[in-house]
Homo-oligomer: A and B are copies of this chain.
Amino acid sequence: MGSEAGTEPPRRVTIRDVAARAGVSKGAVSLTFNDRPGVSRATRDRIFAAARELGWSPHLSARSLSNSRVDTVGLAIARPARTLGLEPWSMEFVSGIESVLVERSCSLLLRLVRDVREEIAVQEAWWRGRQVGGSILVDLRDGDPRVPALRRLGLPAVVAGHPSLADGFTSVWTDDATAVTEAVRYLVALGHRRIARVGGAPGLGHTTIRKAAFEAAVREAGLGEGRTLATDFSGEEGARATRALLASADRPTAILYDNDIMAVAGLSVAAEMGLSVPADVSLLAWDDSQLCQLTHPTLSAMSHDVFGYGAQVAHRLFEVLDQAAPRAHQAPTPALTPRGSTAPPRRGEP
């Protein structure tokens, strides 16, 4: 049963069928659907009608085989094994990318990878197999091996990160150094003198940049060496780092976090240790997401339009695909959004 002789499988409708129905050649249909000149108004209409009646749309593999154009862009995100779910940042970023892709009817090929090595393999496979026309690189490391690898492949890409890490690729970056400086100055202006930082994964480009900026800003304020603890960006490590800081002899009165998840974790560690925020300790998050407004107190943050950032990156990728020369584009600098987790330190606290 099922494969009786006589029950023809319903052959896929192709451009040939549409052409036949409209009484024209395949070429005419192709020209029409790529709105190129050479087909009269009347014929176009007939062709569109025929296509609609047959429910036809072009087979994208066939199309990209012949015109060697691909309407898919790739994004691989390294997800440290322990952080199964992604942080809000990635999701907003993806949303932003999508918002641009959709209006060009392009698609996003997403892959979660374990590390940079694996990502290189994925990108290579994608490019070799012509599955993507270009890619987006995130979370650049210092001396990131992906950059030379993609260059060798000739894979068009845009780097979401500082130009110094992009080495000739088009990049979109935010001035984190300035933002960090602003954050520190704000805390200093509130009266804080012991400021610590819970930083992201060491080796990550923006971690390095922020760390340097933090140390410079603290020194400039005459507060000695700034203390930074490194983490892997996970909530657990954020909690651990906060616990270490708050339990130390010269407990800081203000902590700057490298993302929002860790700041949320910090908040609960403070509560757990019987410290009140912001009276005993001020917390300042990075990457302001919905989360920062759901806590009590709400989290002050260096906010940053991640959605718009993603959109701009996608936009620039299309420019690159259109042969634009590589360039560094600056996105808006993260700006302080003061909320309930920052305040002057208790009197008497130095």
Q: Could you say which of B57, B89, B129, B294 contacts A268, with CB atoms under 8 Å apart?
A: B294
Q: Within A99-124, which residues are at the interface with B (CB < 8 Å)?
A: 102, 105, 107-112
Q: Is the CB of A110 within 8 A of B112?
A: no
CA distance A239 to B9 in the complex (A): 55
Q: Is the CB of A130 within 8 A of B83?
A: no
Q: Is the CB of B131 within 8 A of A60?
A: yes
Closest to A10 in B: B154
CA distance A55 to B125 in the complex (A): 11
> In angstroms, how far is the closest chain B Cβ from the Cβ of A235?
4
Whether A164 is near chain B, meaning CB under 8 Å from some CB there, is no
Q: Could you say which of B91, B107, B235, B307 contacts A91, with CB atoms under 8 Å apart?
A: B91
Whether A65 is near chain B, meaning CB under 8 Å from some CB there, is yes
Q: Within A274-303, which residues are at the interface with B (CB < 8 Å)?
A: 289-291, 293-296, 298
Whether A95 is near chain B, meaning CB under 8 Å from some CB there, is yes
Q: Is the CB of A83 within 8 A of B290?
A: yes
Q: Is the CB of A239 within 8 A of B271?
A: no
CA distance A92 to B86 in the complex (A): 7
Q: Known contacts A60-B131, A61-B65, A95-B85: does B239 contact A294 (CB below 8 Å)? A: yes
16 examples of A-B residue contacts, CB within 8 angstroms: A56-B128, A60-B61, A61-B64, A86-B91, A86-B95, A95-B112, A105-B125, A107-B131, A110-B110, A235-B290, A235-B293, A239-B294, A264-B291, A268-B294, A268-B295, A271-B296
How many copies of this chain does the complex contain? 2
Whether A15 is near chain B, meaning CB under 8 Å from some CB there, is no
Task: Give the interface centre of A57, A79, A92, A110 by most chain B CB atoms within 10 Å.
Answer: A110
CA distance A109 to B75 in the complex (A): 11
Q: Is the CB of A261 within 8 A of B84?
A: no
Q: Is the CB of A107 within 8 A of B109?
A: yes
Q: Known contacts A105-B125, A290-B235, A296-B272: does B95 contact A60 (CB below 8 Å)? A: no
Q: Known contacts A60-B130, A294-B235: does B265 contact A84 (CB below 8 Å)? A: no
CA distance A292 to B94 in the complex (A): 24
Whether A25 is near chain B, meaning CB under 8 Å from some CB there, is no
Whether A234 is near chain B, meaning CB under 8 Å from some CB there, is yes
Q: Is the CB of A109 within 8 A of B111?
A: no
Residues of chain B with a CB closer than 8 A to A230's CB: none
